[in-house]
Amino acid sequence: MRYIDTDFSAQPTEPFRPLEQLMAVFPASSRSHVPPAWQDLMTDPNSPIIDFYPTDFKVDLNGKRFAWMGVALLPLVDELRLLRALDTRRHLLSTEEVERNIRGPDRLFVKEVHPVAGLLLALHKHAVDLKLTPEYFVPPGKHIKGGLLVPDDHSVLDSRLTQGISGRFWPDLCIAHMPGERVPSGVPTLLPDLPVSRVVSVCFADPAYPDKFVFPSKLLDKVSNSSRLIGLFFWPLLLNITFVIRCHAFRHSYYTDRNVTFI
């Protein structure tokens, strides 16, 4: 890190979108997994980012015997250069590729017999009955053109029903399949359809906190350990300390494994 000139006090940034991430980490030989409109950017000698995809590079063995054990010395990917190059081809992406390149919401899945499943099912049914669209709901703290704001306070999970999980949720009107429904395979050439769904799914967002919020590391109010600790002259976990000494010697196929216990 001492040779990298970086200002870590700069404004927070956002991660790559999914397909952009592939362009940042894949070699040119894996270009079949990125949109066709972007593939030649990895191989064309005149590509503005051709230096991101070297076919000949050094490997730092660092004492290792085989090349696959070493560290490939690849160039750092300049985010702005990469995005500028991709932007020139972005209009060529198909509708499906554009959708694949979106950072969608997290999703929460629970079994149909889970204590909170009834609430999630009722929420989904209510949204379907009102003929709402996915654009009606947006993650907390976000806005969309022509739409409403975040789901209201009634969409806060009751952590007593979710084993401590807290956050906001709203109907998943894009890909959700309710219990009893058939779930089509995402890769029909490899996997069959799922005959019957047994789970309920909703879109989910973690609790929102102000920027730079710091979670204090302290005991809750009125918690006291003094009565449990005062008067003790030893710690139970120190009564039995076990040191395990392992010795591997491959000469003459000799192997020992000794356990030494101090009490």
Q: Where in the chain is the domain with CATH 1.25.40?
A: 18-100
For residue 226, the Cα-to-chain-centroid distance in whole angstroms is 41
18-100 adopts what CATH topology?
1.25.40
The SS3 assignment for 255 reads strand
Q: Can you tell me the mean pLDDT for 167-194?
A: 86
pLDDT attached to residue 82: 96
60-104 pLDDT, tens digit each? 998 888 988 999 898 899 999 999 999 999 999 999 899 889 887
Q: For a pLDDT cut of 90, what percent of the chain falls above it? A: 29
What's the angle, vertex CA 228, arms to CA 223 and CA 229, rounded to 5?
110
Q: Can you tell me the mean pLDDT for 165-175?
A: 83
pLDDT above 80 for 261: no
pTM, to two decimals: 0.62
Q: Which residue has the higher pLDDT, 243 or 216?
A: 216
- In this structure, what are the phi and psi dihedrals at residue 50, rounded to the nearest 5 degrees? -60, -25
Q: Can you tell me the mean pLDDT for 180-198?
A: 89
Q: What is the mean pLDDT of the chain?
A: 78
Q: Which element (helix H / strand E) includes 200?
A: strand 199-205
Closest CA to 22 of 7, 11, 32, 13: 32
Choose the most confident range, by mean pLDDT, from 157-161, 180-184, 240-244. 180-184
Beta-bridge mates of residue 111? 199
| Interatomic CA distance for residues 38 and 88, integer angstroms | 10
Q: For a pLDDT cut of 70, what percent of the chain falls above it? A: 75
Alpha helix segments (H runs only) across the chain: 18-25, 36-39, 79-87, 95-100, 117-129, 226-229
| Interatomic CA distance for residues 127 and 170, integer angstroms | 9
* DSSP single-letter state for residue 197: -
pLDDT attached to residue 205: 81
| Residues whose CB is less than 8 angstroms from the CB of residue 221 and which lie 6 or more positions away in sequence, other chains included | none
| Interatomic CA distance for residues 258 and 244, integer angstroms | 7
